[in-house]
Structure 1
Amino acid sequence: MTKPESAGHDCDVVISGASLAGSAAAILLARRGARVALLERRSDPEAYKVLCTHSITANAYPVLDELGLVPALEKAGAVRNEARWYTRWGWIEPRAAPAGPELPYAYNIRRSILEPLIRSRAAQTPGVDLLLGHHVTGLVREAGRTVGVRASTPEGEREIRACLVVGADGKDSAVAKFAGVPATQYENARFGYLAHFRNLPLRGGIGQTWFLDPDMAYAFPNDDGVTVLAVLPDKKRLPAFREDLEGSFFEFVRALPEAPPIDSAERITKIIGSVNYPLHRRKPTAPGVALIGDAALTGDPLWGVGCGWALHSAQWLAEAVASAATGRGDLDRSLVAYARTHRRRLSGHQRLAADFATARPFNPVERLVFSAAARDESVARHMHLFASRLIGPLRFLNPLALAKASAVNIRHRAAAAPPTHPSHTGS
């Protein structure tokens, strides 16, 4: 049955996970007429994900706008995520063109603010039933497709039937596991630790990222004067961090070019992180099932793309399946459309990220573009569009962009070359 009717179902869509992706999908689906049960295993409506870059890339700004969250985020103190990036060739500092529009942006904001905010908006949306303390323990299946979930609730076991089950339950997705959707993993040769600091000044008051080849670090200013500071070293450094986490963390930061004054700042959280964070991807659909956010794909934390992709995948799903989930179209065909969009928009980014996660040296194309971006504002703006995930790898590395980068570097070498003096011969 690919044109499910609402009769016999408790709702149109069940979503497992009321974090960013799940709450956004619930809002967008309900606004399109779907009845949504939004399940969250945690009972606390203020719960939030702790280990996060706390940054939303600019590609997700239209989703925030559609959700109506932009005024609330700015009122909550979210910081527009301008940034500069250190490379061996100098700093890449994207700036708006003199006569052009401002650079695209979204926001840095701590998940302790963002997650309860979007969950509360979902709960207030007509058509959404937020069910806290509901943990999915299995799927209801008929004729080879998923038609609902079984959940552990504060009142005991419960079955909730729906036309579509959405897994928005993170990289270790129970929905994906129960639906038999395997994950392809990619090794990450870096590990990461982060902490939150207050009164940590950053040059220009904007985000800083350090490409140290192979090590990485970033500092993102957030709401309420708090800065998230993260280090992502090559795993060759792991023994030292295991022996003395705090000492190694501080030593790593002090050694950064134009290092933020970490010793004079107030650390307000523990140093937390992960020594093993592989990238993974799953096929984002199965019969009667869709996966969004980290359940479908995780990026390398160093790029800070997880929040943006969570919101975007929620939007793509709502656009593709809302009509079919309410009995006004072919659900299987709609899921194919969602999977196609997800693959087209994210697979290229994921391939590049998985390759870079091996901690290999910069390849020749990366050296060309990064060096040119440190020397030319137009190349820096082009790189900003890619870092913000507003353009994909093919456009980022298109022949015209590479030709421009080559020309910049040729001019740079010519300007740096010592002058030649004509030889003089005696008569």
Structure 2
Amino acid sequence: MTKPESAEQDHGYDVVISGASLAGSAAAILLARRGVRVALLERRSDPDAYKVLCTHSITANAYPVLDELGLIPAVEKTGAPHNDARWHTRWGWIEPKAAPRGPELPHAYNIRRSTLDPMIRSLAARTPGVDLLLGHQVTGLVREAGRTVGVRASAPQGEREIRAGLVVGADGKDSAVAKYAGVPTQRHENTRFGYLAHFRNLPLDGGIGQTWFLEPDMAYAFPNDDGVTVLAVLPDKKHLPAFREDLEGSFLSFIRALPEAPPIDGAERISKIIGTVDYPLISREPTAPGVALIGDAALTSDPLWGVGCGWALQSAQWLAEAVAPAATGRGDLDRSLALYARTHRRRLRGHQFLAVDYAKARPFNPGERLMFSAAARDASMARHMHLFASRLIGPMRFLSPVALAKATAVNIRHRGTAASARPRTHSEP
């Protein structure tokens, strides 16, 4: 339940969570349902506050978390479309489709954070065992014998100290919890910048998301709830001076120049053009003594992949599964935190490694050319690409010997077909 900002008593919490957006609210709900007493702190006082700069898309890897939270009916009720997508490459469109007589492709949703954040925060506030403390900003950690045992927080009514066996940082890429806990931060340069805007009356081919790999520039268009489409451009930073001179003109010109561009001139822009010119990829150890980091606080990836919301929800679930018994005194908390850290690294480190490399704003490397060209030419390879883009399989499976051999065979077969149809004028992967 929501507690007034003037509350001063420590109610004997097991876990304190800093940040009540996707990761923090999900972790609070999942922990409380397992018997954990949770203080959920949010620095903003508005229960309807939301993250503005976001891809507004949840990848399919997070569907089971939405299901466990019980949010699927509410998300469906908003009209949020499935996050089906097609991707433009120099070899044509990659268009994943379900296999004949096969199951539907896994999906999650495109949903604006202005809809999703209040929805999940409200659910957290209604969950028995969760106290939502709005207007509370962490200003320091309480430490004893080398480990964290609580937080100090400021609120409009003054400072307070809240003690708990575990402090969770769900407070974003600039995590104060991580800083106060002394968790080292690895920052990787992102040599693209990004701007986005929201539109109405903007039809997309097939009514699904579109992504353009322009090597090295990027763009995407995602249909969202309430008939809103999010358009984003992510160019190489060499274009930044021109964008800064005329942001609106540069943004619209970039969109108009896309292959099979969405009809932007007939659409209604309903938001400002917002963005960032410096968005590094950040990696941190997900735990420290008495501390766990989830969501962007633990790992912030490149926004062009649209994985942040999905990973926020997944990391919340992994943490709840690992630490709930220990948080209530029925296990060793340090061993439980070590389990969470291993899961986090195993599931996400490979994805982040590839994202860091591609954030250098470079053309496709040979392996990427092999896989993307094959996916544009073969339906089963397109489905394989969909599983990877949805983060349902990791890099090792995506680039397995079997997958590489199949991609090679697809491209050899394509070259044979192309050679019989026309003179060969340049090499193709």
Q: Which residue of 2 aligns with 1:133?
A: 135
Q: Which residue of 2 aligns with 1:41?
A: 43
Matches of residues 171-320 of structure 1 in structure 2 within 5 Å? 171-320=173-322
User: Hey, what's the Cα distance between the residues in 2 that align with 1:142 and 1:10?
Assistant: 17
Q: Which residue of 2 aligns with 1:414?
A: 416
User: Hey, what's the Cα distance between the residues in 2 that align with 1:287 and 1:368?
Assistant: 44
Any conservation in 2 of the 1:9–1:162 contact (CA below 8 Å)? no
**1:123 maps to 2:125:** yes
Which of 389, 393, 396 is 2:395 aligned to?
A: 393
Q: Deviations over 1:210-266 (max 9, x none)?
A: 000000000000001100000000001001100000000000000000000111100
Q: Which residue of 2 aligns with 1:376?
A: 378
Q: Look up the equivalent residue of 1:243 and give its one-letter code.
A: E
User: Hey, what's the Cα distance between the residues in 2 that align with 1:360 and 1:45?
Assistant: 41
Q: Which residue of 2 aligns with 1:14?
A: 16
Q: Which residue of 2 aligns with 1:75?
A: 77
Percent of matched pairs sharing the same residue: 84
Q: Look up the equivalent residue of 2:333 and give its one-letter code.
A: L
Structure 2's unaligned 5+ residue stretches are: 1-9, 423-429
Q: Look up the equivalent residue of 1:65 and give its one-letter code.
A: D
Question: Matched residue of 1:79: which SS?
Answer: coil
Question: Matched residue of 2:385: which SS?
Answer: helix
Q: How far did 1:419 drift?
A: 6.6
Q: Look up the equivalent residue of 2:221 and give its one-letter code.
A: A
Which of 327, 334, 337 is 1:335 aligned to?
A: 337
Tell me the TM-score normalized by structure 1: 0.96
User: Hey, what's the Cα distance between the residues in 1 that align with 2:376 and 2:203?
Assistant: 23
**1:325 maps to 2:327:** yes
User: Hey, what's the Cα distance between the residues in 1 that align with 2:420 and 2:343?
Assistant: 52
Alignment CA distance shift 1:218-1:419 (3 Å) = closer
Question: Matched residue of 1:52: which SS?
Answer: coil
User: Hey, what's the Cα distance between the residues in 2 that align with 1:333 and 1:416?
Assistant: 58
Q: How far did 1:360 drift?
A: 1.6
Q: Deviations over 1:111-133 (max 9, x none)?
A: 00000000000000000000000
Query: What is the aligned-residue RMSD (CA, Å)?
Result: 1.0
User: Hey, what's the Cα distance between the residues in 1 that align with 2:414 and 2:179?
Assistant: 53
Any conservation in 2 of the 1:185–1:280 contact (CA below 8 Å)? yes
Q: Look up the equivalent residue of 1:333 and give its one-letter code.
A: R
Question: Matched residue of 2:14: which SS?
Answer: strand
Which of 99, 102, 106 is 1:100 aligned to?
A: 102
User: Hey, what's the Cα distance between the residues in 2 that align with 1:175 and 1:276?
Assistant: 22
Structure 1's unaligned 5+ residue stretches are: 1-7, 421-427
Q: Look up the equivalent residue of 1:107 and give its one-letter code.
A: Y
User: Hey, what's the Cα distance between the residues in 1 that align with 2:362 and 2:210?
Assistant: 22
Tell me the TM-score normalized by structure 2: 0.95
Alignment CA distance shift 1:419-1:164 (3 Å) = closer
Q: How far did 1:9 drift?
A: 7.3
Question: Matched residue of 2:391: which SS?
Answer: coil
Size of the aligned set, in residue pairs, is 413
Q: How far did 1:76 drift?
A: 1.2
User: Hey, what's the Cα distance between the residues in 2 that align with 1:313 and 1:248?
Assistant: 37
Q: Which residue of 1 aligns with 2:3?
A: none
Q: Look up the equivalent residue of 1:57 and give its one-letter code.
A: T
Q: Look up the equivalent residue of 1:145 and give its one-letter code.
A: R
Q: Which residue of 2 aligns with 1:347?
A: 349
Q: Deviations over 1:96-125 (max 9, x none)?
A: 001100000000000000000000000000
Q: Look up the equivalent residue of 1:63 and give its one-letter code.
A: V
Q: Which residue of 2 aligns with 1:32?
A: 34
Q: Deviations over 1:183-214 (max 9, x none)?
A: 10100010000000000010000000000000
Question: Matched residue of 1:120: which SS?
Answer: helix
User: Hey, what's the Cα distance between the residues in 2 that align with 1:77 and 1:295?
Assistant: 30
Q: How far did 1:77 drift?
A: 1.4
Q: Look up the equivalent residue of 1:232 and give its one-letter code.
A: L
Any conservation in 2 of the 1:186–1:280 contact (CA below 8 Å)? yes
Alignment CA distance shift 1:404-1:155 (3 Å) = same
User: Hey, what's the Cα distance between the residues in 2 that align with 1:293 and 1:232?
Assistant: 22
Q: Look up the equivalent residue of 1:296 and give its one-letter code.
A: A
User: Hey, what's the Cα distance between the residues in 2 that align with 1:153 and 1:248?
Assistant: 42
Question: Matched residue of 2:165: which SS?
Answer: strand
Q: Which residue of 1 aligns with 2:116?
A: 114
Q: Look up the equivalent residue of 1:289 and give its one-letter code.
A: V
Q: Look up the equivalent residue of 1:128 and give its one-letter code.
A: V
